Amino acid sequence: MNDVARKVSELPVAHLPRDTLQEKVFRQLSDLILDGEIAPGQLVKIQALAEAFGVSTMPVREALKRLMAAKALTVVSGRSIGIPPLNVDRLDDLRRIRIEIESIAAEWAAPNIGDDGIAALNDQLSRMESATAAGDVKGYLRANRAFHFIVYGAAGSKSLLSIIESLWLQISPYFNLLHGSGNYSASNEQHEAMLNAIRAGDKSALKAAVRADIDGAYDVLTGLLD
């Protein structure tokens, strides 16, 4: 053992926990984005995030770098961070990929969703319906995310779920813009169709409902961009 290695081995260094502070901050920020808590046009500051999480700015900066690399966030001005602008080409690309990936996940998940999963989905659907009636955008978006990820999580593939999450990090903030269009009510119909297809074990109907849900949001967002 050389002198450097010996000195290092003699240090009272404990093994770092897997769930590091940076990872916790990254997870919290990701959850905020996925739940639509950071809407397009809304700015957040690094210092404000650090204070909210009760940490220094360093883990916040590192987490933000990862989210910017994933195209979920961007620097808007100075130390202000926001949701990247959306254009038709990017929206088209996300739609095509989501339809393929999320349809596969739903197909894989269908035989794995038992009574407990169906009950959880039914609960989230009720939450979405209540939120739609009350005009509660944030409540709707949280339940919408929970509903979809209960389904996709049942596919049993961490790799597939990670891909879907990366896609949702890019598109889910824009679901904030759908509430005035009637899309939430239409989307609830597709969620109910998904749930009925799962109950019936009909993979084709499930994939069709997933696609219709994605296309419904796409049509509204395309109109807003135009």
pLDDT averaged over consecutive 10-residue blocks of the chain (226 residues)? 45 50 91 93 90 90 94 87 94 98 97 97 98 96 98 98 98 94 94 97 97 97 90
From first CA to last CA, the distance across the chain in angstroms is 66
Q: What is the largest CA-CA distance in the chain?
A: 70
Convert 139-167 to b/e letters by CB count within 10 Å (16 or more is b).
Answer: bbbbbbbbbbbbbbbbbebeebbebbbeb
Phi and psi at residue 16, to the nearest 5°: -70, 140
The DSSP 8-state label assigned to residue 182 in this structure reads T
The two structure tokens encoding residue 56: 């220094």
- CA 124, CA 140: separation in Å to the nearest integer? 9
pLDDT at 99: 98
pLDDT at 8: 37
Q: Are strands 74-77 and 80-82 parallel, antiparallel or unpaired?
A: antiparallel
Q: Report yes or no: 38 and 173 within 8 Å, Cβ to Cβ.
A: yes
User: Residues 6 or more apart from 52 whose CB is under 8 A from it?
Assistant: none
pLDDT at 13: 43
Three-state DSSP class for 77? strand
Task: Catalogue all structural domains in the chain, each as residue range(s) with its CATH number.
Answer: 3-82 (1.10.10.10), 88-225 (1.20.120.530)
Q: Report yes or no: 41 and 7 within 8 Å, Cβ to Cβ.
A: no
pLDDT at 3: 52
pLDDT at 11: 45
- CA 210, CA 100: separation in Å to the nearest integer? 10
